[in-house]
């Protein structure tokens, strides 16, 4: 159960982070860092990571406030979460450039990192990302955060699960997806709310998208109800070096819902980046 302490910077104190490594491949094997979704932990991507470990070194981590990582009481922004990626890379001495994959809100966080540090990335994979949080979505996210703070995670469990797995056959019949529901309930409500508020406040200017110069692959689930394929296509159109693909038989979480297909496509993309 490895831990590492992220060094402080001008805006952020030290942070104890729980992480996991799969596939300790010697150089020049690529390193891929995974950023999990809202309401998840590195456990969400464990099965997906295991499919990649024969070909690359994969590192997942619990973001601040969730899983076994330290849970600061102060509020934070998407830029703070993005900074944590760089601080983790420093703490683990990950060679630059490395590959970065973000899922859902993790894709938004990875995008923020790439907009500031594109030169540190060999490639970027955004699974079900969005270029913006529209006003209606912002109100919904902030209102849901307030409900979770007062009433706990169970109050949003069914709606969150149904939205993320919408369009997939018998999601309650898949043991791994049923386990996902239980893991979701273990998320600290205040942390979930704070992450939600950070997401709702996300904003990027055209110049921010233009700075994402690394090769980028956008993957959106065919049935994604939250950020559907047209949203992923919109994001791809704003990035200077991006391609977009729809993942069949997946919704909001393609690496969880179609892990073998996504792992194969990600490996192909990573290998073509060298």
Task: Map out the domains of the chain with their CATH numbers.
Answer: 3-132+204-272 (3.40.50.1820)
What is the Rg, in whole angstroms, of the alpha carbon atoms belonging to the chain?
Answer: 17
**Which pLDDT band holds residue 172 (cuts at 50, 70, 90)?**
confident
Give tens-digit pLDDT for 43-60: 999 999 999 999 999 999
The partner residues of 216 in beta bridges, in order of sequence, read 124, 242
Give tens-digit pLDDT for 180-200: 999 999 999 999 999 999 999
Mean pLDDT score, 156-168: 96
| Cα–Cα distance measured from residue 229 to residue 221, given in angstroms and rounded to the nearest whole number | 7
Q: How far is CA 58 from the centre of its chain?
A: 14
Give tens-digit pLDDT for 205-262: 999 999 999 999 999 999 999 999 999 999 999 999 999 999 999 999 999 999 999 9
Regarding beta strands 57-61 and 15-22, do their DSSP bridges make them parallel or antiparallel, or are they unpaired? Answer: antiparallel
| Cα–Cα distance measured from residue 197 to residue 177, given in angstroms and rounded to the nearest whole number | 26
Cβ neighbors of 175 (< 8 A, separation 6 or more) are: none
For the cut 90, the answer to whether the pLDDT of residue 24 exceeds it is no
Q: What does pTM read for this prediction?
A: 0.97
């Amino acid at each position: 159960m490895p831990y590492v302490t992220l060094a402080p910077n001008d805006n952020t104190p030290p942070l104890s982070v729980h992480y996991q490594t799969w596939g300790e491949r010697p150089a020049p094997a690529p390193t891929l860092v995974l950023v999990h979704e809202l309401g998840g932990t590195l456990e969400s991507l464990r099965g997906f990571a295991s499919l990649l470990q024969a070909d690359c070194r994969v590192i997942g981590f619990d973001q601040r406030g969730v899983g076994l990582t330290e849970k600061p009481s102060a509020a934070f922004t998407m830029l703070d979460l993005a900074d944590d990626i760089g601080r983790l890379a420093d703490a683990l001495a990950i060679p630059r450039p490395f590959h970065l994959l973000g899922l859902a809100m993790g894709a938004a966080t990875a995008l923020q990192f790439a907009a500031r540090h594109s030169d540190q990335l060999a490639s970027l994979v955004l699974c079900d990302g969005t270029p913006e949080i529209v006003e209606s979505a912002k109100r919904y996210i902030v209102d849901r955060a307030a409900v979770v703070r007062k009433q706990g995670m169970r109050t949003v469990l069914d709606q969150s699960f149904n939205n993320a797995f919408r369009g997939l056959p018998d999601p309650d019949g898949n043991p791994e997806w049923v386990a996902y529901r239980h893991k979701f309930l273990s998320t600290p409500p205040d942390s979930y709310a704070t992450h939600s508020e950070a997401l709702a406040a996300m904003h990027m200017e055209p110049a921010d998208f233009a700075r994402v110069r690394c090769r980028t692959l956008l993957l959106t689930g065919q049935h994604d109800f939250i950020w559907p394929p047209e949203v992923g296509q919109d994001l791809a159109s704003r990035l200077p070096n991006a391609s977009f693909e729809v993942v069949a038989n997946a919704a909001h979480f393609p690496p969880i819902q179609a892990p073998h297909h996504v792992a194969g496509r990600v490996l192909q993309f990573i290998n073509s980046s060298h």
